[in-house]
Amino acid sequence: MTKACAAPLMRGRLTVRAAEAGADIAGLMALRGRVFRGDAAADDRDAHDAGAIHVLVEAEGRMLAGFRLIAMATGAEVGRGYSAARYDLSRLAGFALPILELGRFCIDPQAGADPDILRAAWAFITREVDARGAGMLCGCTSFAGADPARHRAALAHLTRHLAPAALAPLPRGADVVHFARDLAGVRPDPAAALAGLPPLLRTYLMMGGWVSDHAVADRDLDTLHVFTAVDIAAIPPARARALRALAG
Protein backbone atom coordinates (compact mmCIF):
# COMPACT_ATOMS: atom_id res chain seq x y z
CA MET A 1 0.00 0.00 0.00
CA THR A 2 1.55 3.31 -1.09
CA LYS A 3 1.97 5.74 1.79
CA ALA A 4 -0.13 8.90 1.73
CA CYS A 5 1.71 12.19 2.06
CA ALA A 6 -1.15 14.03 3.73
CA ALA A 7 -1.68 13.94 7.48
CA PRO A 8 -5.19 13.18 8.78
CA LEU A 9 -7.57 16.02 7.98
CA MET A 10 -10.30 17.14 10.36
CA ARG A 11 -13.33 19.11 9.21
CA GLY A 12 -16.00 19.56 11.85
CA ARG A 13 -17.13 16.10 12.95
CA LEU A 14 -15.34 14.42 10.03
CA THR A 15 -11.84 12.95 9.89
CA VAL A 16 -10.22 11.91 6.62
CA ARG A 17 -7.14 9.74 6.89
CA ALA A 18 -5.11 7.08 5.14
CA ALA A 19 -6.17 3.57 6.06
CA GLU A 20 -3.81 1.37 8.02
CA ALA A 21 -3.48 -2.35 7.43
CA GLY A 22 -5.78 -4.75 9.23
CA ALA A 23 -9.09 -3.52 10.58
CA ASP A 24 -9.11 -0.36 8.46
CA ILE A 25 -8.79 -2.29 5.22
CA ALA A 26 -11.26 -4.96 6.32
CA GLY A 27 -13.82 -2.27 7.13
CA LEU A 28 -13.22 -0.49 3.86
CA MET A 29 -13.64 -3.70 1.86
CA ALA A 30 -16.89 -4.40 3.70
CA LEU A 31 -18.12 -0.92 2.78
CA ARG A 32 -17.14 -1.46 -0.84
CA GLY A 33 -18.92 -4.79 -0.82
CA ARG A 34 -22.13 -3.20 0.50
CA VAL A 35 -22.04 -0.27 -1.93
CA PHE A 36 -20.83 -1.94 -5.11
CA ARG A 37 -22.11 -5.50 -4.67
CA GLY A 38 -24.96 -5.26 -2.18
CA ASP A 39 -23.24 -7.49 0.37
CA ALA A 40 -20.63 -6.56 2.96
CA ALA A 41 -19.15 -10.05 2.66
CA ALA A 42 -18.73 -9.80 -1.13
CA ASP A 43 -15.15 -9.61 -2.38
CA ASP A 44 -14.51 -6.31 -4.14
CA ARG A 45 -10.71 -6.48 -4.04
CA ASP A 46 -8.75 -6.27 -7.28
CA ALA A 47 -5.14 -6.24 -8.43
CA HIS A 48 -4.89 -2.45 -8.02
CA ASP A 49 -5.56 -2.40 -4.29
CA ALA A 50 -2.08 -3.52 -3.24
CA GLY A 51 -0.35 -0.45 -4.70
CA ALA A 52 -3.01 2.10 -3.77
CA ILE A 53 -3.45 4.66 -1.02
CA HIS A 54 -6.70 3.76 0.71
CA VAL A 55 -8.50 6.65 2.39
CA LEU A 56 -11.30 6.67 4.98
CA VAL A 57 -13.82 9.37 5.87
CA GLU A 58 -15.02 8.87 9.44
CA ALA A 59 -17.20 10.49 12.08
CA GLU A 60 -16.64 9.49 15.70
CA GLY A 61 -14.91 6.30 14.59
CA ARG A 62 -17.65 5.27 12.17
CA MET A 63 -16.61 4.82 8.55
CA LEU A 64 -18.83 6.92 6.29
CA ALA A 65 -16.94 6.78 3.00
CA GLY A 66 -13.78 5.54 1.36
CA PHE A 67 -11.77 5.71 -1.82
CA ARG A 68 -8.38 4.85 -3.21
CA LEU A 69 -5.66 6.81 -4.96
CA ILE A 70 -3.10 5.30 -7.31
CA ALA A 71 -0.03 7.49 -7.69
CA MET A 72 1.90 7.52 -10.97
CA ALA A 73 5.19 9.37 -11.51
CA THR A 74 4.25 10.48 -15.05
CA GLY A 75 1.86 9.55 -17.82
CA ALA A 76 4.27 6.80 -18.83
CA GLU A 77 2.90 4.80 -15.87
CA VAL A 78 -0.77 5.31 -16.69
CA GLY A 79 -1.05 1.67 -17.71
CA ARG A 80 -0.75 0.69 -14.02
CA GLY A 81 -4.13 2.19 -13.21
CA TYR A 82 -7.60 0.68 -13.18
CA SER A 83 -8.80 2.93 -16.00
CA ALA A 84 -6.23 1.72 -18.52
CA ALA A 85 -7.81 -1.73 -18.62
CA ARG A 86 -11.06 -0.15 -19.84
CA TYR A 87 -9.82 2.78 -21.95
CA ASP A 88 -6.89 3.17 -24.33
CA LEU A 89 -4.97 5.93 -22.54
CA SER A 90 -1.94 5.91 -24.83
CA ARG A 91 -2.36 9.62 -25.53
CA LEU A 92 -1.60 10.33 -21.87
CA ALA A 93 1.76 8.52 -22.04
CA GLY A 94 3.64 11.74 -22.76
CA PHE A 95 2.16 13.63 -19.81
CA ALA A 96 5.25 14.79 -17.93
CA LEU A 97 3.85 15.40 -14.44
CA PRO A 98 2.63 12.97 -11.77
CA ILE A 99 -0.91 11.65 -12.12
CA LEU A 100 -3.28 10.54 -9.35
CA GLU A 101 -6.04 8.10 -10.23
CA LEU A 102 -9.08 8.32 -7.96
CA GLY A 103 -11.24 5.23 -7.74
CA ARG A 104 -13.68 3.07 -5.81
CA PHE A 105 -15.24 6.14 -4.19
CA CYS A 106 -18.14 4.96 -2.05
CA ILE A 107 -20.37 6.45 0.64
CA ASP A 108 -22.27 4.37 3.18
CA PRO A 109 -25.95 4.62 2.14
CA GLN A 110 -26.86 5.09 5.83
CA ALA A 111 -24.77 8.27 5.92
CA GLY A 112 -27.36 10.01 3.76
CA ALA A 113 -26.71 12.77 1.24
CA ASP A 114 -24.31 14.74 3.42
CA PRO A 115 -22.36 17.14 1.16
CA ASP A 116 -19.73 17.59 3.87
CA ILE A 117 -18.50 14.04 3.23
CA LEU A 118 -17.64 14.83 -0.38
CA ARG A 119 -16.15 18.20 0.56
CA ALA A 120 -13.90 16.63 3.20
CA ALA A 121 -12.78 13.95 0.75
CA TRP A 122 -11.87 16.59 -1.83
CA ALA A 123 -9.93 18.51 0.80
CA PHE A 124 -7.76 15.44 1.45
CA ILE A 125 -7.36 14.79 -2.29
CA THR A 126 -6.26 18.41 -2.75
CA ARG A 127 -3.56 17.92 -0.13
CA GLU A 128 -2.35 14.78 -1.91
CA VAL A 129 -2.30 16.55 -5.28
CA ASP A 130 -0.22 19.39 -3.87
CA ALA A 131 2.11 17.16 -1.86
CA ARG A 132 2.92 15.04 -4.90
CA GLY A 133 3.01 17.87 -7.43
CA ALA A 134 0.36 16.04 -9.45
CA GLY A 135 -0.56 17.60 -12.76
CA MET A 136 -3.65 15.49 -13.38
CA LEU A 137 -6.37 13.76 -11.39
CA CYS A 138 -8.35 11.10 -13.23
CA GLY A 139 -10.50 8.01 -12.85
CA CYS A 140 -13.64 6.21 -13.98
CA THR A 141 -16.81 7.97 -12.79
CA SER A 142 -19.81 5.66 -12.56
CA PHE A 143 -23.55 6.00 -13.13
CA ALA A 144 -25.76 3.50 -11.31
CA GLY A 145 -27.21 1.20 -13.94
CA ALA A 146 -25.43 -0.04 -17.07
CA ASP A 147 -28.28 0.86 -19.45
CA PRO A 148 -27.28 4.13 -21.19
CA ALA A 149 -30.93 5.00 -21.85
CA ARG A 150 -31.31 5.69 -18.11
CA HIS A 151 -28.66 8.41 -18.35
CA ARG A 152 -29.52 10.01 -21.68
CA ALA A 153 -29.89 13.57 -20.38
CA ALA A 154 -26.68 13.45 -18.35
CA LEU A 155 -24.70 11.87 -21.19
CA ALA A 156 -25.97 14.49 -23.62
CA HIS A 157 -24.77 17.16 -21.19
CA LEU A 158 -21.33 15.55 -21.12
CA THR A 159 -20.91 16.16 -24.85
CA ARG A 160 -20.06 19.74 -23.80
CA HIS A 161 -17.17 18.52 -21.66
CA LEU A 162 -15.20 16.20 -23.94
CA ALA A 163 -11.47 15.58 -23.62
CA PRO A 164 -9.07 17.66 -25.71
CA ALA A 165 -8.14 15.68 -28.81
CA ALA A 166 -4.48 15.39 -27.82
CA LEU A 167 -5.38 13.58 -24.59
CA ALA A 168 -8.66 11.89 -25.49
CA PRO A 169 -9.03 8.24 -24.48
CA LEU A 170 -9.72 5.74 -27.26
CA PRO A 171 -12.09 2.76 -27.01
CA ARG A 172 -10.79 -0.53 -25.65
CA GLY A 173 -12.69 -3.77 -25.31
CA ALA A 174 -16.40 -4.49 -25.46
CA ASP A 175 -19.49 -2.79 -24.02
CA VAL A 176 -18.54 0.63 -25.37
CA VAL A 177 -21.28 3.27 -25.59
CA HIS A 178 -20.43 6.02 -28.10
CA PHE A 179 -22.60 8.67 -26.46
CA ALA A 180 -20.88 11.71 -27.99
CA ARG A 181 -21.58 10.38 -31.47
CA ASP A 182 -25.09 9.10 -30.73
CA LEU A 183 -26.24 12.20 -28.83
CA ALA A 184 -24.56 14.87 -30.95
CA GLY A 185 -26.89 17.88 -31.14
CA VAL A 186 -29.20 16.68 -28.37
CA ARG A 187 -30.01 19.49 -25.94
CA PRO A 188 -31.30 17.99 -22.70
CA ASP A 189 -33.31 19.73 -20.03
CA PRO A 190 -30.58 21.35 -17.88
CA ALA A 191 -32.17 20.40 -14.57
CA ALA A 192 -32.60 16.77 -15.59
CA ALA A 193 -29.05 16.62 -16.93
CA LEU A 194 -27.47 17.97 -13.77
CA ALA A 195 -29.66 15.84 -11.52
CA GLY A 196 -28.49 12.77 -13.42
CA LEU A 197 -24.78 13.43 -12.90
CA PRO A 198 -23.09 11.59 -10.03
CA PRO A 199 -21.90 14.09 -7.38
CA LEU A 200 -18.25 13.14 -7.95
CA LEU A 201 -18.57 13.87 -11.66
CA ARG A 202 -20.28 17.21 -11.00
CA THR A 203 -17.28 18.22 -8.90
CA TYR A 204 -14.85 17.26 -11.66
CA LEU A 205 -16.78 19.38 -14.16
CA MET A 206 -16.92 22.35 -11.78
CA MET A 207 -13.12 22.22 -11.72
CA GLY A 208 -12.95 22.31 -15.52
CA GLY A 209 -12.63 18.56 -15.94
CA TRP A 210 -13.32 16.59 -19.08
CA VAL A 211 -14.60 13.14 -20.03
CA SER A 212 -14.07 10.50 -22.67
CA ASP A 213 -16.36 10.64 -25.71
CA HIS A 214 -17.57 7.13 -24.92
CA ALA A 215 -18.72 5.26 -21.85
CA VAL A 216 -18.13 1.66 -20.81
CA ALA A 217 -20.82 -0.59 -19.37
CA ASP A 218 -19.64 -2.65 -16.39
CA ARG A 219 -22.01 -5.62 -16.30
CA ASP A 220 -20.39 -7.02 -13.16
CA LEU A 221 -21.25 -3.93 -11.08
CA ASP A 222 -24.26 -2.85 -13.21
CA THR A 223 -22.75 0.59 -13.78
CA LEU A 224 -21.91 2.78 -16.73
CA HIS A 225 -18.72 4.79 -16.42
CA VAL A 226 -16.85 7.49 -18.26
CA PHE A 227 -13.15 8.26 -18.01
CA THR A 228 -12.86 11.58 -16.22
CA ALA A 229 -9.86 13.84 -15.73
CA VAL A 230 -8.92 17.34 -14.68
CA ASP A 231 -5.71 19.15 -15.57
CA ILE A 232 -4.67 20.71 -12.26
CA ALA A 233 -3.15 23.76 -13.95
CA ALA A 234 -6.44 24.42 -15.76
CA ILE A 235 -8.62 24.57 -12.63
CA PRO A 236 -10.13 28.08 -12.46
CA PRO A 237 -8.13 30.17 -9.95
CA ALA A 238 -11.14 30.89 -7.74
CA ARG A 239 -12.00 27.19 -7.57
CA ALA A 240 -8.37 26.28 -6.81
CA ARG A 241 -8.29 28.82 -3.98
CA ALA A 242 -11.51 27.42 -2.56
CA LEU A 243 -10.17 23.85 -2.63
CA ARG A 244 -6.92 24.85 -0.95
CA ALA A 245 -8.81 26.82 1.69
CA LEU A 246 -10.91 23.71 2.34
CA ALA A 247 -7.72 21.64 2.57
CA GLY A 248 -6.26 24.10 5.06
For the chain, what percent of residues have pLDDT higher than 90?
92
Q: Calculate Rg over the CA atoms of the chain.
A: 17
Give 190-225 pLDDT, tens digit per residue: 999 999 999 999 999 999 999 999 999 999 999 999
What are the CA-CA distances from residue 230 to residues 64, 99, 204, 206 (Å)?
A: 25, 10, 7, 10
Q: What is the mean pLDDT of the chain?
A: 95
Query: Would you state the pLDDT for residue 1?
Result: 64
Give 230-247 pLDDT, tens digit per residue: 999 999 999 999 999 989
Number of Cβ within 10 Å of residue 127's Cβ equals: 21
Report the largest interatomic distance among the alpha carbons of the chain, rounded to a whole angstrom: 51
DSSP for residue 19: P
Give the mean model confidence (pLDDT) for residues 86-110: 97
Query: Would you state the pLDDT for residue 3?
Result: 76
Give 17-59 pLDDT, tens digit per residue: 999 989 999 999 999 999 999 999 999 999 999 999 999 999 9
Helix (H), strand (E) counts: the chain:
7, 11
Q: Domain spans of the chain?
A: 9-247
Q: Which CATH architecture has domain 9-247?
A: 3-Layer(aba) Sandwich (3.40)
Full-model pTM: 0.94
Give the mean model confidence (pLDDT) for residues 7-24: 94
